[in-house]
Amino acid sequence: MTFYERFEEVIALLLSLVISVVVVIALWRLMSEVFNMLVLGALDPLDHRVFQSVFGMIMTLLIAMEFKYSILKVLERREHIIQVKTVILIALLALARKFIILDVKSMEAGKLAALGFALLVLGLVYWLLRERDDRLREQKSA
């Protein structure tokens, strides 16, 4: 392994550790928030604001975990340091989170359309990348 590859590995390990700490703290805060809502009787899943708050926190955790997973793949040397497909997936998750916490009544129609278009384009790019990977896998196995 070259010096730079070892350097990449150390940085990826440190990033993974930092993200793990952030995920654990965020999970703890999510659990305490849900517990407080249960104790106070404020947890009404049919309430739009409660739904946005809880699922926004859950989506944030999922985004962080996907990011950590992409770093772990670097550590295992299964992938390069920059993974376009994973970056697209994280962007899709971030946009999905945005749509979950979005207050449609206060958002301008143009911004909503732009977010929808961005989601559509990212979904298309992700699908194309997945199709390419599937074809490459088929060619290697043939």
Mean pLDDT of the chain: 86
Task: Tell me how crowded residue 83 is: count the other CB atoms within 10 A of its CB.
Answer: 17
Torsion of CA 61, 75, 122, 118, to 10 degrees: 50
The residue extents of the domains of the chain are 3-141
CA atoms within 13 A on the CB side of 59: 20
pLDDT bin (cut points 50, 70, 90) of residue 26 is very high
Residue that wins the pLDDT comparison between 43 and 29: 29
Q: Which residues contact 94 (CB under 8 A, 6 or more apart)?
A: 63
pLDDT at 17 over 90: yes
- For residue 80, what pLDDT is reported? 63
- For residue 42, what pLDDT is reported? 66
Q: Which of 91, 87, 93, 25 lies closest to 55, judged by CA? A: 93
* 53 within 8 A of 105, measured Cβ to Cβ: no
Q: What is the pLDDT of residues 49-77, one digit of tens each?
A: 777 888 888 988 998 998 888 888 877 76
- List the structure tokens of 93: 């998750």
Q: What is the pTM of this model?
A: 0.71
- For residue 76, what pLDDT is reported? 78
Residue range 101-128: average pLDDT? 91
